[in-house]
Amino acid sequence: MVASSKRQRLELEAELASLCNRGLELARREREDCRALLSILRGLETLHGRIREELFQDALPNSRHDLYKLLREIEENGGWPYIERMRLRQLLACLAVEDTTSDPSELGR
């Protein structure tokens, strides 16, 4: 039973790695298109939310003991999955750097 579970976990990890690689390929293909990249990020955020709300919550353990084991495992293996958003200040800083590197003669055009 344990060997089967380990094999299933390895298969899951391999499938997930393949999915992540495909997503990264898609993003690299669109590397010059900020709007396309933003769309990809929004899609990933939507996927994250749907998995959490539609599947993960229903799969949570029913007993306190099993819930405790899950929470301990989450903490030991890197914490809760989180999709970080770019902070507005970071975005503005990027714009400021871009603005200072622009040709001043272009400003009036």
Nearest to 16 by CA among 24, 27, 26, 5: 24
> pLDDT digits over 1-41, tens only?
567 788 999 999 999 999 999 999 999 999 999 999 999 99
Measured between alpha carbons, how far is 46 from 51 in angstroms, rounded to an integer?
A: 9
Nearest to 48 by CA among 84, 24, 88: 84
CA torsion 19→23→26→32, rounded to 10°? -160
> pLDDT digits over 38-88, tens only?
999 999 999 999 999 999 989 999 899 999 999 998 899 888 887 777 677
Give, rounded to a whole angstrom, the gap between the first and last alpha carbons of the chain. Answer: 70
